[in-house]
Structure 1
Amino acid sequence: MHLEQPWLIADIGGTNARFALYRPASGFASPQVLPTSEHATLQAAAAHYLQQLGLTEPAVRPRYAAFGIANPITGDWVQMTNHSWQFSISELQSALGLGKLLMLNDFSALALALPHLQAAELQQVGGGVPVPHEAMALIGPGTGLGVSGLLPDGHGGWLALAGEGGHVTLAPFDAVERAVVDYVQARHPHVSAERLLCGGGAGQDMGLPLLHEAVCAVQAIPQQARTAAEITRLGVVGEDAACRLTVDLFCAMLGTMAANLVLSLGARGGCFIGGGIVPRLGSYFAQSPFRRRFEEKGRCSAYLQQVPTYVIHAEYPAFTGAAAALAQWLQTHRQT
């Protein structure tokens, strides 16, 4: 029955792979963050994690696992969008000696965690009150831009959306944003939301560094190459005008995207912001143009004023959602 063996839970992003063990009776244990650049494959990273804990022998290694990954899951073969890892789910399951490897989109996993988040793990930005049992929206800039939603299933539970909303076409709000998009479009004919609303990484021409470059070009500011970390740090404290303009524009455009998502889903249960970038902006984010832009929707402004927006500050929220998904799978398939 494998009751004594923990489940292996993972949250796989373009920059880091996070692992933990989970037992339904006692919760999570032994969380660890492994840089994806230090491991040639996901199998190697997972095996390294288990080896460190002495869980490689069949009698003690996990029998079941759930991995949330920053990628669409459309079949057995997975090729990461923002990293070089690629693999067969069934072959990975076999290589790790698992009876079941449940692979799901990382933001679907995070969406499933939303009903379980505690008040101390959330920072509300702006006004609004959540309507119980209504849809919830989820968006999060990290290495890429994750988008999901949580819908009531009509039986007291929830259904997480597995989409690729970060790749929708970015819609500029005003003349400055149109100029920025025009600048980027000269190199990238399709300017997706993720092209600018993320941290970027893995040597890709995207995210905050590209947005900073475009802002400097549009505002006729001398170019100085900056990393995403430098842009956010200098922008938040106001030490660099171009970085501050970039961070302000980033937050405003994120507000547009978040509002679009809420209107599309009818997410009166609230809009939640995950990912690695916004939580690091600290108290600045509440004063940024995000919430003002979120509410600037013409005839639907009053609607959006009633929808609360939250920044997720939980350390490993996607673990909770992945474990919930695996528990549901095991219950459905009558396994423990």
Structure 2
Amino acid sequence: MSAQFVADVGGTNIRLAQIDNGQLCHIKKYLCADYQTIAEVIKVYFAEFPEVKFTAGCLGVACPVTSDAITMTNNSWKFSIVELQADLELTWLGVINDFTAVAYAVTVLDNNQKVQIGPGKAVDGENIAVFGPGTGLGVKHLTPSTNGWLALDGEGGHVDFAAVDDIDVAILKFLTNKFGHASAEEVMSGRGIVHIYQAIAEYKGVTAPLDEAADITESALNSSCDLCVATLAQFSRVLGSFAGNLALNLGTRGGVYIGGGIAPRFTDFISESDFRARFEAKGRFKDYVADIPTYIITEPDHGLIGAMAYLNQNCKG
């Protein structure tokens, strides 16, 4: 029996799955540190299914993909795409950035795998924006082409942080004093939550005893700390402003999606925050963005789903 496979390759874990009738199955997770090479762990996965002949695959990897030579950012793995394909005896192998996989996932997610925040209706076949606060800030745009969806590469997470209100200005000053530059990633990420917390504390002249994003978030969600609530509220506002900027950049009438590991943890909080108000606060172009929908991706396997969507579109073998 022949089959295709996909993988979501991070710095710590690699998750692999098979594709069966357009669905993921046999999802397994391995520690990257337990294996010398990526080929070794993929072969271990293959060996668990001796009745299957794997013919094609797609890997979403947490590092830049600009040539045949792949060097993982947060583990020691290095490999050649061409050599890995030959080693695994595949007729086709796709390797894409892990956030590119997130972007392709949004083209196939159903309403049970995402939550819409605010009004708006997606227009089929129109541009889409995707961003994801996590360890860093990933940003992608998708645009339709004659061959299907095309992901536009860039480093949108490192654009200048754009301040909108007085608290934003305080955050901007805090980051500029600390780093000499205030990027969007230093606000919309795990460490960004800490930066917002510290900046608001400095602005209000109060102490900031916490130093972990998880602790700040937990204290905000259980309303045990006013400073933490203010932090998460400002984080949600900043998300909204950034999402609105992405919508303007490419006219994303197909929607703006938030992925990554942070936002799905407090979807209800974001929904009840000023996120959508800030998304639409675009002056003369308020009406332009008002009809564009915004979503949070809640599907935990969206990286694998995106790799599958990319494989389905591009593998012709």
Fold shared, TM-score > 0.5 on shorter chain: yes
Tell me which residue corresponds to 1:202: none
Identical-residue share of aligned pairs (%): 34
Distance in 2 (CA, whole Å) between partners of 1:228 and 1:290 is: 19
In structure 2, C-alpha distance between the alignment counterparts of 1:14 and 1:179, rounded to whole Å: 33
CA contact (8 A) 2:158 2:185 kept: yes
Q: How far, CA to CA, are the matches of 1:146 and 1:171 in structure 2?
A: 17
CA offset digits 1:155-203 (Å, max 9, x no partner): 6x3222222211212111123212212212223223221122112xxxx
C-alpha distance 26-323 of structure 1, shift in aligned 2 (>3 A): closer
Gaps of 5+ in 2: none
What is the Cα deviation at residue 249 of structure 1? Answer: 1.2
Give the length in aligned residue pairs. 316
Correspondence for 1:187 among 157, 178, 202: 178
1:183 counterpart letter in structure 2: F
The answer to whether 1:163 aligns with 2:154 is yes
SS in structure 1 at match of 2:115: strand
Deviation at 1:26, TM superposition (A): 5.8
Q: How many angstroms does 1:18 deviate by?
A: 2.7
Report the CA distance shift for 1:31/1:241 in structure 2 as closer, same or farther (over 3 A). same
Q: Alpha-carbon deviations, 1:129-148, whole Å to 9, x = none?
A: 11222111111112221111
Q: What TM-score, normalized to structure 2?
A: 0.88
CA distance in 2, matches of 1:166, 1:292: 22
Q: Secondary structure in 2 aligned to 1:115?
A: coil
Matches within 5 A, 1:146-225: 146-154=138-146, 157-199=148-190, 206-225=191-210
| Pair 1:51-2:36 in alignment | no
**Do residues 324 (structure 1) and 309 (structure 2) align?**
yes
For residue 106 of structure 2, give the secondary structure of its aligned residue in structure 1: helix
Instruction: Give the 3 Å change call, closer, same or farther, for CA 75–53 of structure 1 in structure 2.
Output: closer
The within-5 A match list for 1:1-336 is 4-14=1-11, 16-23=13-20, 25=21, 27-34=23-30, 38-39=33-34, 43=38, 47-48=40-41, 50-51=43-44, 54-55=47-48, 60=52, 62-81=54-73, 83-90=74-81, 93=84, 97-99=88-90, 100-154=92-146, 157-199=148-190, 206-331=191-316, 335=317
Any idea what SS the aligned residue of 2:107 has?
Answer: helix
**Structure 1: tracts of 5 or more residues without a match:** 200-205
The residue matched to 1:116 in structure 2 has which SS? coil
Give how far 1:297 is off: 0.7
**In 2, Cα distance between equivalents of 1:216 and 1:79:** 39
Aligned mates of 1:251, 1:42 — CA distance in 2: 39
> Residues 272-301 of structure 1: CA distance to partner in whole angstroms, max 9, x if unpaired?
111111111031110112111111110111
